[in-house]
Chains A and B, each alone.
Chain A
Amino acid sequence: MKKSIDPRINRLELPANEDGKEVLDELEQWETYEVFHQKKRGDQHVHVGIVHAASAEMALLLAKEQYARRRQTSNLWVVKTRDVTATSYDDSDIFETTPEKTYREASDYYCMDRIRKYQQEHGIKDRKEDRRKKKESA
């Protein structure tokens, strides 16, 4: 007999597959869609999760309640999970950067001291600095 964590499925007493494995047949579960949420028009769509659905239209419908019910939303996208091409976790070493190459990261550029010097020389106010001072005095 097929076993499920859902007692209602178990009550149906579905026969096991021929190979004896207790798994649900393909398509007994609807496929999944990845859901992307956009807060405000113009913002990026951000991946928020998945829904099971029989069609893209239904996926949007269900995504609205799962992912847009309790937050500001202007737009949703859904994409079939199987249409997503992903890197392999086995290849995750491609994202590593060798320590000697930190100059390739933006954090390794020191230019603020030169910018401040230029601003002082030309009498340009540093607005960021002003705001920081204002905040401190408040």
Chain B
Amino acid sequence: MQYNETELKAVKEFLYKIADDQLIIGHRNSEWTGLGPLVEEDIAFSSIAQDKIGQAQHIYEILHTLGEADADTIAFTRNAADFKSCHLVEYPIGEYDFSLMRNFLFNHAEKIRFEMLADTSLEQLAKLAKKYRGEIKYHTMHSDTWITQLGRANEESHARMQTALNETFNLALGIFEESEFAGNLKELNIFEGESALQNRWLEAITPLLEKASLVIPERSAWQPVYGGRKGYHTEYLEPMLEEMGEVFRLDPKAEW
């Protein structure tokens, strides 16, 4: 499909947003490798992290076909201000409760976003959406099981998961920061919109959190943390990017 200048901008921004979220949360989750609570979980969580980074790579490759740099250059050489990731994914890993809750809230948004993208007019993306269905389903099964287990295990685990939910919820609402190009994306039949996604996300996570005996913060306390989609980030992103791209920047021309 041929896009005019504004449309191309809209498509690129949309793809960057999705892929940057995946890359950053993937890298954060990979920081648990070797430190997981038990070896089986260490392997599972690391594997999920790798899946997310792989998904980001494929979306960067779509961007490359639209005239952007190659995937490695996109991932490892941009400044923080060029990233479109939301604040939720940027925060340090914290304790395992924080990382699990963040992953739970993110996975469900991701799952629904890709469900909505299954018949997007952007064909390359529609293909990926179908391809990732199984992977993302496993990611949500993983987080659902852990949330339920720890939400109901004992007083301490319940308190920690509730605290983690309180800490991550407003950040998670930041996933759904609307783009100035939302209208273009809808017109082009690429994406229905962030508020539709947010509504479906709330419908999905509410019964799951209930099952885990956890309570979503009162609506009056909702304060979505926006800014990430426009390039305004937390203090945590820059050092993470420096570390992530350190080896690549030693010799950007190296063959891997």
Which A residues have a C-beta under 8 Å from some C-beta of B?
Answer: 8, 30, 51-55, 57-58, 61-62, 64-66, 69
Contact among B35, B40, B145, B153 with A52 in the assembled complex (CB-CB below 8 Å): B40
Indicate if the CB atoms of B40 and A51 lie closer than 8 Å. Answer: yes
Measured CB to CB, the nearest residue on chain B to A54 is B149
Indicate if the CB atoms of A58 and B138 lie closer than 8 Å. Answer: no
Which positions 24-45 of chain B face chain A at CB distance < 8 Å?
35, 38-41, 43-44
CA distance A65 to B41 in the complex (A): 9
Indicate if the CB atoms of A57 and B145 lie closer than 8 Å. Answer: yes
A sample of 18 more A-B contacts (CB under 8 A), given A62-B40, A64-B138, A66-B43, is A30-B38, A51-B40, A52-B39, A54-B149, A54-B153, A55-B145, A58-B146, A58-B149, A61-B44, A61-B141, A61-B142, A61-B145, A62-B41, A62-B44, A65-B43, A65-B44, A66-B44, A69-B47
CA distance A23 to B164 in the complex (A): 32
Contact among A8, A53, A55, A57 with B40 in the assembled complex (CB-CB below 8 Å): A53
Which positions 139-190 of chain B face chain A at CB distance < 8 Å?
141-142, 145-146, 149, 153
Given contacts A30-B38, A62-B40, A64-B138, contact A55 B47 (CB under 8 A): no
Measured CB to CB, the nearest residue on chain A to B40 is A62
Which B residues have a C-beta under 8 Å from some C-beta of A?
Answer: 35, 38-41, 43-44, 47, 138, 141-142, 145-146, 149, 153
On chain B, the residues within 8 Å of A30 by CB distance are: 38
A6 to chain B, nearest CB (A): 10
Interface of B is mostly: helix
B195 to chain A, nearest CB (A): 32
On chain B, the residues within 8 Å of A66 by CB distance are: 40, 43-44
B88 to chain A, nearest CB (A): 23
CA distance A62 to B138 in the complex (A): 11
| 7 A-B pairs with least C-beta separation | A65-B44, A62-B40, A51-B40, A65-B47, A61-B145, A65-B43, A58-B145
Q: Could you jot down 27 A-B contacts, CB within 8 Å? A: A8-B35, A51-B40, A52-B38, A52-B39, A52-B40, A54-B149, A54-B153, A55-B145, A55-B149, A57-B145, A58-B145, A58-B146, A58-B149, A61-B44, A61-B141, A61-B142, A62-B40, A62-B41, A62-B43, A62-B44, A64-B44, A65-B43, A65-B44, A65-B47, A66-B40, A66-B44, A69-B47
A25 to chain B, nearest CB (A): 15
On chain B, the residues within 8 Å of A62 by CB distance are: 40-41, 43-44
CA distance A53 to B153 in the complex (A): 13
Measured CB to CB, the nearest residue on chain B to A58 is B145
Q: Most B CB atoms within 10 A — which of A30, A54, A65, A66?
A: A65
A88 to chain B, nearest CB (A): 29
Given contacts A57-B145, A58-B145, contact A65 B153 (CB under 8 A): no
CA distance A62 to B44 in the complex (A): 6
A115 to chain B, nearest CB (A): 48
On chain B, the residues within 8 Å of A64 by CB distance are: 44, 138
A121 to chain B, nearest CB (A): 57
Measured CB to CB, the nearest residue on chain B to A59 is B40
